Amino acid sequence: MKQKRSRRMAWVLTAVMLGTAGSAWSSGLERLKHFVQDTQSGQAQFTQTNHGAKAASAAQNSSGLFQFSRPGRFRWEYQKPYPQTIVGDGRTLWIWDPDLKQVTRKKLNESLGSTPAAILAGDNALEKGFHLEEGGASEGLEWVMATPRTADSGFERIRLGFDAVALVRMELQDSFGHTITIHFSQFDKAPHFAPDTFRFTPPAGADVIQ
């Protein structure tokens, strides 16, 4: 159950994504700016590690595929170790848990707000939801610190790590001391999406929760 709760936190990530940050832009904030402005769609593989508040807590790992098309359309699909699908269709956020046979449905404009999904799949008005500042250089990456302006985002702070080409890492910390680290790889900035990539219809027999 702990792993399921941690995976659900990640949609807020849900809501996912990579950018093209050219080496001409040296600072983290410049790379974030160009990522938001210049990367309108893409897809990437991701690996996610959830760390508990206590140092002795065992890390929980998951992986899958993330796809997006701005603004507000994305698909975050966990493949291992347990399947789960999160879809934003531009108006509605859908979270499908096959193990529970349960679908959660929310209005997308009420769900993005000051969440990671707003950074990754939203429009260009990041300053409305976040206080942004340089995070310095470390581990070969340029970092940006994003602090949500509202308390209902689910996270206290978000770190975004860029190399010379793309956004390659996100670190999210919640108010309980849990940390989610996401590594992105195999980014494709010109993917071919199937017509139903950003659509979701609740499977027959699934419980739908508003």
Domain coverage including residue 115: 2-187
Per the domain annotation, does 20 fall within a domain? yes
Alpha helix (H) residue ranges in 65-141: 108-111, 116-121, 126-129
As a whole number of angstroms, the distance between CA 56 and CA 167 comes to 29
Q: What is the per-residue pLDDT across 55-107, written as a single tens digit (0 to 9) for each?
A: 656 788 999 999 999 888 999 999 999 999 999 998 999 999 999 999 999 98
As a whole number of angstroms, the distance between CA 138 and CA 131 comes to 21
As a whole number of angstroms, the distance between CA 184 and CA 123 comes to 21
Per the domain annotation, does 193 fall within a domain? no
- 13 vs 66, which has greater pLDDT? 66
Domain count, the chain: 1
Per the domain annotation, does 138 fall within a domain? yes
Which CATH number characterizes residue 110's domain?
2.50.20.10
Q: How is residue 23 annotated by DSSP?
A: T
pLDDT at 123: 61
Closest of 26, 114, 117, 111 to residue 66, by C-alpha: 117
Q: What is the per-residue pLDDT across 103-158, written as a single tens digit (0 to 9) for each?
A: 999 988 776 655 666 667 666 567 777 888 999 999 999 999 988 887 766 788 89
Per the domain annotation, does 25 fall within a domain? yes
Per the domain annotation, does 163 fall within a domain? yes
Per the domain annotation, does 128 fall within a domain? yes
Residue found under tokens 């702070």: 157
Per the domain annotation, does 147 fall within a domain? yes
Per the domain annotation, does 106 fall within a domain? yes
